[in-house]
Amino acid sequence: MFRVKYFEAIRTAAVIIIALVIAFLVISLVSDHPVKTIGIFLWEPLSTKGHIGNVIEMAIPLMFTGLAVSLLFRANMFNLGAEGIFYFSGVVTTVLAIHLSLNSWLHPLVAILAGSIVGALLSAIPGILKAKWNANELVTSLMFNNILFGVGLYLLNYHLRDAKAFANVSFKFEKTAQLSKLFTGTRIHTGLIIVLVLIVLAHLFLYRTKWGYELRMTGVNREFARYSGMKTAKVIIMVHLIAGFIAGMGGSVEVLGMYSRFQWTSLPGYGMDGALVAMLAKNNPLSVIVSALFLAYIRIGADMMARLSDVPSEMISIIQAVIILLISAEQFLKFWKNRMLLKEAKEA
């Protein structure tokens, strides 16, 4: 079984390579200087301290949402509500960041916790609907995204908007609320530490505690979990609370770490990206770190490419589409796995 064991990892690597090769082919067709453009795409994100900083900054929110979605997927809940919660928790945090006056230690703590708790409570609604009445969590969570975006935008327009600014943005946050930077010359903020701690905690929770065990068993076979005496409805509500808490914290941290005013007038997309991160990570908390960094790396690469060459950054959508398509295509490379199995069976 040893080589078969690595099959999933090998398959993921093959998917990424194929996606990159397709990207290069498209670049070759579009660009006047394909070699130079590919060089920019691959190398620029790592070329300077500032650019590496950009990659990590972008990876932070992806890790938050990727972790939240991983836990939901683990429980076999196809819930994509991280998007709306990420946004709305950002709004909640904005209110506190503007109106509270506390010292620089307590202020972000209170603002982030408030955003996280609101996220958890909002997330529980599709959870309860699923657990009690078996309402499809994909449908309810997607509708919730729209509701939360609408309400959030209303708050921004009518209650938080700074009329003196020349754009649709909120008042400035209190200086005390903003997260401090970790490294000079980059915008990497303390949110990185928060998310890494959270990922380790989630790993321990999932694989080492009885609650994590209940979550995993419910995800693999809910009927079995129920039969064994687990209260699966509670488990489902619990995972929604936790995932909402993490996604909400992601939105709060992003707002306080990267901006001095709230300025999202459309959904930022991190929640949906979280689903992609979770898929690449095979729903493993620790792997979320790597897959979020990878996604951030190709995003920044595409941005650099758009700025420095003649290929637009929308290019990246092709890579993402190919990755999602091939990862979710279960039959992809199956023939190869079958051949490996046959070989191993003969040796045994």
Partner 1 sequence: MANALLEMRGITKVYPNGVVANKDVEFSLREGEIHAIAGENGAGKSTLMKIMFGMESPSEGELYIRGEQVKLQSPQDAIDRGIGMVHQHFMLVPSFTVAENMVLGMEPRKGVGFNVGEAVRLTEATARKYNLAVNAKAKVEDLSVGMKQKVEILKALVRGAKILILDEPTAVLTPQETEELFRELQQLKEQGHTIVFISHKLKEVKAICDRITIMRGGRSEGVFETREVTEQEISRLMVGRDVVLKYDKSTIPHGKPVLTVDRLNVSDSQGKALLSEISFSVREGQIVGIAGVEGNGQTQLIEALTGGLRGVTGSGSVRVKGEEIRELDILDIRNLGVSYIPEDRMRQGSAGEASIADNLISTRYRQKDMNKGPFLHGSKIAALASALVEEFKVRCSGPQQPIGMLSGGNMQKVVVARECSTNPQLLIAEQPTRGVDIGAAQFIHQKLLELRSGNCATLLVSADLNEILELSDSLLVMYEGQIVAYFDHPSAVSEEELGLYMLGINRQDKEQTGRAVNHV
Nearer to partner 1, 234 or 307 (CB): 234
- Chain center to CA of 194: 15
Interface with partner 1, residue 341, by CB under 8 A: yes
282 touching partner 1, by CB under 8 A: no
Using the rule CB under 8 A, give the single segment among 29-37, 78-86, 170-178, 226-234 that binds partner 1. 226-234
Instruction: Indicate which single residue of 32, 223, 314, 347 sits in contact with partner 1 (rule: CB under 8 A).
Output: 223
Choosing from 209, 265, 317, 328, the residue that interacts with partner 1 (CB under 8 A) is: 209
How many CB atoms within 10 Å of residue 123? 30
Q: Out of 204, 321, 325, 329, point to the residue binding partner 1 (CB under 8 A).
A: 204
* Residue choice 183, 208, 265, 325 for contact with partner 1 (CB under 8 A): 208
Backbone angles phi, psi at 183, to 5 degrees: -125, 135
* 28 φ, ψ (degrees, to nearest 5): -60, -35
Cβ 240 to partner 1 shortest distance, Å: 21
Query: What SS3 string covers 22-78?
Result: HHHHHHHHHCCCHHHHHHHHHHHHHHCHHHHHHHHHHHHHHHHHHHHHHHHHHCCCC
| Minimum CB distance to partner 1 smaller for 192 or for 199 | 199
Report residue 97 as tokens: 């960041």
Which residue, 29 or 345, has its beta carbon nearer to partner 1?
345
By CB under 8 A, residue 1 contacts partner 1: yes
Count other C-beta atoms under 10 Å from residue 262's C-beta: 27
Neighbouring C-beta atoms of residue 13, cutoff 10 Å: 11
Chain contacts with partner 1 (rule: CB under 8 A)? 1, 4, 204, 208-210, 213-214, 216-217, 220-221, 223-231, 334, 337-338, 341-342, 344-346, 348
